[in-house]
Structure 1
Amino acid sequence: MPKQYARCVQAGQHCSATRWRCLFFGAAEFATEQQTVSADVIRRSYAATEEGFLNLVRKQWLIKPQIASVGTCCLVGIINEGVLYIANAGDSRAVLGRVERGAKDIKAVQLSSEHNASFQEVRDELRQMHPDDPRIVVLKHNVWRVKGIIQVSRTIGDAYLKSSEFNREPLLARFRIPGPFHKPILCPEPSIEEHRLCAEDQFVIFASDGLWEHLSNQEAVDIVHCSPRNGIARRLIKAALREAAKKREMRYSDLKKIDRGVRRHFHDDITVVVLFMDPALVSRRLYGISWRFSFRGVDGPQLEQYFKKHGIETLLDAVVTSHGFYFILQLLRLSVPHCITF
């Protein structure tokens, strides 16, 4: 994919690197076919990723039937020719930090649409798509859920809610829903937004819903704006965990001591990526004119050390991940292609 920069955040029970590779290289193939990046290219990439995962479920159905219950939200950002494309399936979120001309304060601008049954418009959409199912959305323990099971209405995976062929034995009974269904309950198609970057755009926060459960858009943007860049994603996660501890009337230090498996009862998993914009590059529209660079999410200092060693100028500042995910980075002034995994 020439002249572009891609970013992905996945949140779910199993955030699969295989699915991310499929998504990225699918996008690369479709973009090469059309000689451009477009909403259609991104939709086709999501569809190909979904179909690839469903085929994997079919192949492993008799050996690992529980894979049919595995799913993930997927948030993708691609910069191409000065335009930022944001695609989202699920309830992860991309938020832009922008400084308006003549203003000192920074403004939070949400770039992504979310697909969570807590929103009235999502419930209306589901009811419109399933007019014969009065229980397509159910209020359970004061939380709206699709079929009383899951809060999000769009995902990659969750095969047991996409096709009746997976809503049966040998899948465990606790995952199966009563009665057959004739069309997918959940949808893999992302909502896609386009934003032309300008000099006022400072950074974009890509994060799973675990962050936004405890921080508002403006709170997150203010933290990034008022803090050193180094380690900023980790700082956001820490701020969210402090809020989670406060809601439970406990100390942050005590929350950190709780075993990870048990901590899911206190807060959701959190994945954060902060992408800083270089105003000079935005105005010159020079995003990604060189080679692709692939690596697993790590924190800022480790990447900075590698970049300095190889004399690389990059648009990336910091990455912290609690799931493990892949992203592809196009670099400037890189004379040879690099592909490394931390």
Structure 2
Amino acid sequence: MPAVSFQAVSKTFATAKGPFQALDNVSFDIEEGEFFGLLGPNGAGKTTLISILAGLARASSGRVLVQGSDTQSEFAAARRKLGVVPQELVFDPFFSVREALRFQSGYFGIRHNDAWIDELLYHLGLADKAQANMRQLSGGMKRRVLVALALVHRPPIIVLDEPTAGVDVELRQTLWQFIARLNQEGHTVLLTTHYLEEAEALCGRIAMLKNGQVVALDRTSALLKTASGNVLQFKTDSALPAELAALARVTGRIVQLPAHDALEIERHLATLRAAHVDVQDLEIRRPDLEDVFLHVMATASPLPQPERIERTEVAA
């Protein structure tokens, strides 16, 4: 039995401009113990899918199962198996960090949970903030508390919706060490992130969404193998000639040019020399997950999906 099963999930919102379909017949399973990545550009439907998984939104059609429990008809059982870290910094301003974790334990009927709370505080770098009021914490510290709140009832399935957005390097390293340990102990992890180097390093399998549809679904290693050729990468303060500018991915001073073979690499270099472009820190590397992601978003069509599973109730 899968840890999570999305079965022909669709979601349509009513808007002032008419119906908007955020998800269109999304189907895939996440197996027990997987570290699974869900990737897509802004507006692809990732957060909507997670909201349906967490019971915060209803699917217009289809259904979601959490270890066999339906997220709508068996909400309490499904929710108990999930620990969800949301994107937004949502917190109660009236309690200290320890009090918030104790109350969260109580919501799940767990008493005498201080030993696990102490372990969470230690591993997430919150031990010295245990008695601090939530209002006194920085944004990064509040995000650490959100992670602790999601894990306080020891859920078998951990859902991380862009957990490292806007946080410092120390928290990212601390968080991933702890989450990787939990995954090794058998916890299933579902991650959405815009930091594709995190997904490449952590996730064994990845699904990519575009316009509410699954456009890629495979093991991370298999996705990386689909990228052929090499990438010519360098730094420059000079303007690129038009023929290369049309191909390049530019981030600040860093330029990345796709090159299928050694001959194309030489052609790129010859063009740069002819245009008197000052090149620094030149290197040739294999394509990474970001290269694969950009290619998929530019070229992919939706993957074949099973038949739709209709529900009698339709969400607005």
Same fold at TM > 0.5: no
Q: Could you say which TM-score interval applies, normalised by the shorter chain?
A: under 0.3
Give TM-score scaled by structure 2 length.
0.27
Larger radius of gyration: 2
How does the TM-score come out when normalised to structure 1? 0.25
